Amino acid sequence: MKKHNFSAGPCILPQEVLKQASAAVLNFNDDNLSLIEISHRSQPFVQVMEKAQNLVKELLNVPKGYSVLFLQGGASMEFLMVAMNLMKVNGSAAYTNTGAWAKKAIAEAKDLGNAIVLGDSSDKNYNYIPKGYTIPDTVDYFHCTSNNTIYGTQIKEFPHCPTLMVCDMSSDIFSRKVDVSKFDLIYAGAQKNMGPAGTTLVIIKDEILGTTGRNIPTMLDYNTHISKESMFNTPPVFPIYVSMLTLQWLKDLGGVDAIEKINQEKADLLYNEIDNNSLFEGTAKTEDRSTMNVCFLLKDESKKEAFDKMWNEAGISGIKGHRSVGGYRASIYNAMPIESIQVLVDVMKKLEQKDD
């Protein structure tokens, strides 16, 4: 039976990417050596790194004056690195609190300086994106999270920012068009739309670094990694290679413009069923609904056993909601085919028909 993987992360990846990656683990570049045993300093892997970086620049139209890095430590490490590299000694930064990961980013910043929370949706269990706040030009930077995986919300229009603009795009990068020139630093864990867990993409404007007045540990200094082209220490070879393959797959598909249209069609299909099916309801405010993570509930919990049995039998995997929200969460990242979403929609329809 075909599996329909709605897991929130690590994400579904294109089948052709998985096949290429599998082959490379056994025999990379027809050299009878495994990708994961060759030197990261060897020319074959240097070419992988360069191609991955160039694909990022091409797909997102990254302007000149920005560096593209592949680092380790996940987005959680970036929570600290952002504050350490951008917040001045005795400085301040502004944050929006839109979910669990934003909350953790704020906590890291508070250890280094004054972290001001401008918008906070925790009052309604993060089911909306705060709006209407003003970012002061006196803070060292402003930080937001573009898509909130657990709660199924997404920023549709980024605020005007009079200072440095930082964004955690871990769960929706490459899913829609973004004007990189409006951001000074973007970071994203690979395991949503790019590849397996183990590397983190950072896009950073070079000129913003080196102004904090603080002593930054070598491994946590962005300038360290820029100067060594992401190879200060041994990089996570396999996640970077799979990310490169996935980015090439996206380019061949037509790039970010093409996938944005596909993603909207997928999201519309599922949200329309949630809104029109008498047994279900969405959890996020309609205007803030994520195109990547669709969170919904059964109105009548007595239907849960029947629904769970039906989606399991249909080969659906990974749609149980996070414990913070409950219900169900269908994560529909770039590689998720619309056919899999139709399978879920059909199950939802059948459940409603059984109820008639």
Sign of the CA dihedral 236, 238, 241, 243?
A: negative
| Whether residue 44 has a cis bond before it, omega within 30° of 0 | no
**Of the listed 140, 172, 184, 192, which one is catalytic?**
192
- Name 320's bridge partners: 328
**Of the listed 140, 168, 184, 221, which one is catalytic?**
168
Amino acid, res. 171: S
Our answer to whether residue 192 is catalytic in this structure is: yes
Angle in degrees, 0-180, between the axes of helices 338-355 and 255-276, rounded to the nearest 10: 0
Our answer to whether residue 311 is catalytic in this structure is: no
44 burial (CB, 10 Å; 0-12 / 13-18 / 19+) is middle
Dig out the tokens for 197 from the structure: 């867990």
What is d(CA 175, CA 334) in angstroms, rounded to the nearest whole number?
Answer: 6
What is d(CA 94, CA 144) in angstroms, rounded to the nearest whole number?
Answer: 9
Asked if 201 contacts 180 with a C-beta cutoff of 8 angstroms, the reply is no
Our answer to whether residue 268 is catalytic in this structure is: no
What is d(CA 180, CA 187) in angstroms, rounded to the nearest whole number?
Answer: 11
Q: Which of 292, 294, 287 is nearest to 344 (CA)?
A: 294
Dig out the tokens for 274 from the structure: 């949630």
What is d(CA 329, CA 319) in angstroms, rounded to the nearest whole number?
Answer: 5
Residue 269 host element (H or E) = helix 255-276
In terms of residues, how long is the chain?
A: 356
Dig out the tokens for 345 from the structure: 């929609």
The three-class DSSP label of residue 235 is coil
CA distances to 16, 196, 229 from 49, in Å: 20, 16, 9
Asked if 127 contacts 283 with a C-beta cutoff of 8 angstroms, the reply is yes
**What is the β-pairing status of strands 147-148 and 153-154?**
antiparallel
By annotation, the residues acting in catalysis are 101, 168, 192
